[in-house]
Structures are given as structure tokens and as C-alpha cells.
Amino acid sequence: MAPKQPPKPWLIQVFWVLALGFLVFSLVGQTGGGAAETISYTRFRQLLADGQVLKVVVSGEQIRGDFKDKQPDGSTGFIAQRVPPDLAEMLAARGVEVSAAPSSSGFGTLLGWVLPPLLFVGIWLGASRLMGGKGGGMLGGGLLSVGRSKARLSAETDVKVSFDDVAGVDEAKEELHEIVDFLRTPEDFGRLGAHIPRGILLVGPPGTGKTLLARAVAGEAGVAFFNTNGAEFVEMFVGVGAARVRDLFEQARAKSPCIIFIDELDALGRARGATAGGGQDEKEQTLNQLLAEMDGFDRSAAIVILAATNRPEILDPALLRAGRFDRQVLVDRPEKKGRVQILKVHLKTIKLAADIDCDAIAAMTPGFTGADLANLANEAAVHATRRKADATAMLDFAAAVERIVAGLEKRSRVLIPRERRIVAYHEMGHALVARAIPGADPVQKVSIIPRGIAALGYTMQRPAEDRFLMGADELRTRMAVLMGGRAAETLIGPDVSTGAADDLARATDIARGMVARFGMGGALGPVAWDTETGHFLGEQGAFWHKRVYSEATAREIDDAVRRLLGEALARAIAILRTNRAALDAGAEDLLAHEMLTGDELPVPVPEGSDDA
Ligand code: ADP
Ligand code: MG
Ligand code: ZN
């Protein structure tokens, strides 16, 4: 990316507008003066009582009036600010002198004059910049270069990233090797007439390394890399996006062999007719242009288009047809082995203590993406720096994991005591239910230190290993644990709180999955009622979720979901009722210490044992 130039013409404009506004303001300020004296409200009431006031004009909070007779000091009128009557009454009874000040200060008025033109200039600048102007040439360059591609700015010719920098995604790398070979020696492939995919879609959640991988392909092949984003092609004016696509491909042809990378392809490639509201024609034209460019590829041009998305299901099916993005490469969250490899990449630049064990860190971080792990390495180093250590140790990683998992620790957020009590019971509820059910994931830690934005407390359960398959029983256990918070609140009464909203949402997800996707819904049979809508469903199926079952089935599904959730809550309540003493003691402990780990937690009676 080229560095942005400082927008100097900007400042000059702003200066002129300010100066103009000031001039106007001072002119206005001068008119409207007169022989009116500003007096207090109390004085106004006295004058009124004395029969000195001839007439008044009340505008808003201001009272302007004329005296019956000219006052000794020569004034013929007065201005007073009104005070709310009941307040004035109360103050008058105590003999307090009352006056009020106008609510819009001089500065406020000034702002009123200056702000609108400023806003206007701001919008103008914003618009001209969006239209693809380079930083410096603000008005001319911006508005006039409407159709030119922003991609021009980011054509990298000397990409330093290699496959070694991308770890834990061996399958994806394998698939992309072929592309690298093709880009290195395009002639060879043409000779035998081999068909090389021109469009490859990298599919996976954010942070898994899609962009990195695309860049690595360019780096490995030593070709130019056009880095674009689908959103850059979405424009206000019909035809602008399309022109930009055309321009991009023109530039690419000039630089062949090269790679065009389109990040967030879904922004541009949403199924046609699926978006609500305006902008339809523009998007369609842009998409059509992209399709046309991909079809019209000259066989000899060594250009490969890589695109990334985390929502392939909403893409226009036409994009996925043969000759376009007909190959998809899955870039998923890494499993443990992958996480170890990724960690090794990101730990290279960090000074490490002897106790660092990548395997152990990987074990602590199921579900982390590559980006999360990169962040983790950095956070750990920051933590070590802060405690003035010589090297980053395991304890720094443990702290960083916690930080990332549960959001930033914010001791500054204070709960009122009643809320703290509810949160303590809520979290202890989760913990006790989890500990009472044999086979549930072990509870590592319960805390009522507020973290991040949403969580007031949290219970950290860590699965012993990565899970790919889960039994129906395990799912039921999870739901019961999720219900533990609400169950505890129910038991202590008198009311339940909003604190369980997230738990309920997650439990509902599980229940819905059991019934409608995994065929665990009893009477509903082994049917996948909710199928993941795929592109194969045809033109419209990709965006609207099509219901493929009857009204009656829908009701049955809802009932089954409700039943599962009801059972889970009842189970949690039963467990907590049996362990009421432990719940109370645990909550008290938590209130006192804010945080309890592993063996500090109360031990509940195991579910289903005879002592219950
Ligand atoms: P995506 O494009 O899938 O959202 P990025 O490629 O932008 O993800 O990844 C963001 C950062 O996370 C990268 O710059 C890199 O530091 C780190 N990262 C992600 N995946 C990996 C990986 N597989 N190996 C090494 N680092 C990774
Ligand atoms: Mg990305
Ligand atoms: Zn909860």
C-alpha cells in the first residue's frame, strides 16, 4: 500500500470556512442590541409584583419586556431567563436570588453556523475519496478518476511471503502447489493443452490465513499480486464497479503472469436478486463484468484469480460454474497439530523461556485460528514485558490465553452488590452442574471479574481434546451446563435475569441442531430437516433459507426443541437443588475471592448417585 499523503488542501478549506462562519457570527451578534437590561428572574418577579412591567414577549426560555417607566439607570426594557415555576417558587420562599443562563451559549451558536458547511466539506471530501482518488489530489484527482481501479495501488511485484510462513494448512497448500507450478512455467502447461483452473475460491472462517495463503502463492511463484477486496467494486453509480473490474483485468494482462486476489468475494458476488433495496443494477453489472472477464480469458494469459470468502453459500451460483471459481479450497481452523506448527511460526521472533511447550499451548487453544495464535504470541510477549521478565514463559501464555478467551480483564467495571450476588450464583450454577455430571468437560475456573464488553462473569470449561464428533448424551450435558446459570437464578429467586441470554442462545442452537440436523429428535426421525443451503440449490436457494418441510413439521420441530431445552433446565435445577448447600457456599466463596480455580470449587454430589 502506498502511504497516504497528508491532505493539506483540506486544512486550508476548513480554515476559510471557519473564518467565514466567524465573520457571519460576529455580524449577527451585533444586531438586536438595545436599551434592555439583563436582570435576574427574582428581580423580574419583583418588578412584576410592583406593577413596573408594561408588556413581555416570551420566546422559549427568554423573557423580553418593557418597563412602564424609564428606570433610573436609563433602561427601557429588560431581558430575563425563565426558571421552572416550581423551582422558582421554592427558591422564592427561601428568599434566594434566582437567575438563569441561556442554554445555547455563544459557542454553541458559533458551532451552529460553522458545523453545517464543515459537514458539507467533509462529505464532499469523503465522497471524492471513495471514488478512488489518491490521497493528495483531492477534488480533481478524486472525482475525475471515478472508473480507475484502486487495485492499481496494491499491485505487489516482490512478494516476500512463502509457503513456509503459512502453517497447519497442508491440504490447502498441496492444492495450490499446482497453481504455483503453472505460474512459474505457463508455457509448459499450454504445450500439452492442460486445463488449469483459473479461479480458486479459498473458503474458511476469518483469520485462518486465506489472505496469507494467496500472498504466499504469489511469493512462491514470484509473480505480481493484485490485492483487491470485493467491497471495493461496490459503487454508487451504475457502471463504475464494472469499469473498475475491466480496468483491473487490463492491468493484470499487462503484468501477466500474475495473481488477482479478491478478498471478501461475497461483497461483490452475492446471488443476484438476493439483496434487498437499491443498488441492484450496479451490483449486477459489476458481477456480470467479472464473469465476462473470467470467461474471456485468453488461454495464453497466465493469470490466476484467487478469491476468499467465509460465506460461500451466498455467492451467486454463476460464479461457481466451470471455468470460473470451479475449485474450492477449504482453509479451516487448525487442529492441534496445525496449531503447534502455526505457533512455531509465530514464536520465531519471540524470546522464549526454557519451559515453553508448544504442545501444551496448542492443547489450551482449541478453536483458535492462525490469527488468534499470532495474537496470542504477541499478547504473551507483552505480558512478559510487563512483568519485566527476561523471556516469555508458559505463565505468560496461560495469561494470554485467558485474556483472549474471555475478553479483556476489566476490574474497573463495577457491579452493584445485588448484581454481583446474582452473577456469583449464576456462574456457580454452571460450574456445579458441570462438575456433577460425570463426563462433562472439567471446569477450570470460575470468575465474577467482568471481562470484555458482554460477559459479567464466566465459567471456563476446557475440553480435554479437540472434538469432531459428539454424542447425543454429550450434547444434552452441554445444554444442562448452559442452563446451570439460569437454574441457579431460578433457585435463589425471586426473579431471573437477562444474564442467561447468551447461554440460552447457545443451548437453543444445540437443541435445534439435534432435532433438525443430527436426527436426534426422537419422533421426528432420522431426517435432516434443516439442510445447509448450498449453491447447488439453484439460483435463489442460495440466499433465502428455503423451508423444505410442512407447517406441521415446523411445529413439531419447535416443540421438540422446546422439550429438549425444558429437560435441560429441569435437569440443571434438580442437580442444584440436591447441592443447594454447595451452591450457597460456592457463591459466597466466589463473592469473597472473585475467582475460583479447579480444586477450590465445591464438590457436588455426582448426578444419579444414591446419596442424592
Ligand atoms: P484471513 O484472510 O483468512 O482472514 P489472514 O490471512 O488475514 O486471515 O490472517 C491474519 C494473520 O493471522 C496472518 O497475517 C498471520 O499472521 C496469521 N495467520 C493466519 N493463519 C495462519 C497460518 N495458517 N499460519 C501462520 N500464520 C497465520
Ligand atoms: Mg483476509
Ligand atoms: Zn451463563
Name the residue with higher pLDDT: 228 or 82.
228
Residue listed under C-alpha cell 442460495: 542
* 228 Cβ below 6 A of ligand 1: no
Q: What is the pLDDT of residue 404?
A: 81
HEC letters along 509-522: HHHHHHHHCCCCCH
543 within 8 A of 270, measured Cβ to Cβ? yes
> What CATH class has 13-103?
alpha beta
How many A from CA of 29 to the centre of ligand 1?
Answer: 59
Q: What CA–CA distance (Å, rounded) separates 358 from 336? A: 10
Per the model's pLDDT, the better-predicted residue between 54 and 589 turns out to be 589
Q: Residue 74 — φ and ψ, nearest 5°? A: 95, -5
Label the pairing between strands 53-59 and 62-67. Answer: antiparallel
**Domain ranges, ordered by start, for the chain:** 13-103, 107-145, 152-330, 336-406, 417-600
Q: Which residue has the cell 481501479?
A: 149
Write the single-letter amino acid at 246.
Answer: R
Architecture field, domain 336-406: Orthogonal Bundle (1.10)
Question: pLDDT tens digits for 203-261?
Answer: 988 888 999 999 999 999 999 999 998 888 876 677 788 888 888 998 888 888 899 99
Distances (CA, A) of 173 to 168, 354, 448: 9, 32, 43
For 428-467, what is each residue's pLDDT tens digit?
999 999 999 998 888 888 888 765 445 677 777 766 566 6
Smallest CA separation from ligand 1 atom 7, residue = 211
Give the separation between CA 448 and CA 590, rounded to whole angstroms. Answer: 7
Q: Is the omega angle on the peptide bond into residue 494 within 30 degrees of 0, that is, cis?
A: yes
Q: Indicate if ligand 1 lies below 6 Å from the C-beta of 211.
A: yes
Ligand 3 ion: residues within 5 Å (CB): 485, 503
Q: Which of 324, 258, 257, 314 has its CA nearest to residue 290?
A: 324
pLDDT tens, position by position, 281-340? 777 888 888 988 888 777 667 889 999 998 887 888 888 888 888 888 888 888 778 899
Q: What is the pLDDT of residue 34?
A: 47
Helix (H, G, I), strand (E, B) or coil at 309: strand
Does ligand 1 come within 6 angstroms of the Cβ of 341? no
pLDDT (0 to 100) of residue 236: 67
| pTM for the full predicted model | 0.55
**Which bound ligand lies closest to the C-alpha atom of 370?**
1
The answer to whether residue 181 scores a pLDDT higher than 70 is: yes
Instruction: Tally Cβ neighbours within 10 Å of residue 65.
Output: 21
Predicted confidence at residue 204, as pLDDT, reads 86
DSSP code at position 258: E
Residue 269 has pLDDT above 90, yes or no: no
pLDDT cut 70: percent of the chain above it = 75
Cell of 3: 502511504
Confidence label for 420 from pLDDT (cuts 50, 70 and 90)? confident
Ligand 1 atom at minimal distance to the Cα of residue 202: 3
Please tell me the residue having the least CA distance from ligand 1 atom 5: 209
Which residue out of 427, 539, 551, 567 is catalytically annotated? Answer: 427
Ligand 1 touching residue 243 (CB < 6 A): no
Ligand nearest to the CA of 342: 1
- Is 313 annotated in the active site? no
In the chain, % helix, strand, coil (3-state, to 5) comes to 55, 10, 35
Q: Among the atoms of ligand 1, which is closest to the Cα of residue 167? A: 24
pLDDT value of residue 143: 46
Architecture in CATH for domain 152-330: 3-Layer(aba) Sandwich (3.40)
Indicate if the pLDDT at residue 78 is higher than 60. Answer: yes
Mean per-residue pLDDT over the chain, rounded: 79
Q: Note the pLDDT of residue 254.
A: 87
Q: Between 486 and 32, where is the model more confident?
A: 486
R_g (Cα) of the chain, nearest Å: 34
> Which amino acid is residue 501, in one-letter code?
A
| C-beta of 210 in contact with ligand 1 (< 6 A) | yes
More confident residue, 359 or 150: 359
Residue by residue, what is the 3-state secondary structure of 189-256? Answer: HHHHCCCCCCEEEEECCCCCCHHHHHHHHHHHHCCEEEEEEHHHHCCCCCCHHHHHHHHHHHHHHHHC
Q: Which atom of ligand 1 is nearest to the CA of 263?
A: 2
Closest listed ligand to the CA of 173:
1
CA pair distance 78, 68, nearest whole angstrom: 11
How many angstroms separate the CA atoms of 496 and 103, rounded?
43
Residues whose Cβ atom is located within 5 A of ion ligand 2: 211
Going by CATH, does the domain composed of 417-600 fall within 3.40.50.300? Answer: no
Say which residue, 357 or 533, is predicted with more confidence: 357
β-bridge pairing 224-229 and 258-263: parallel
pLDDT for the residue 519: 86
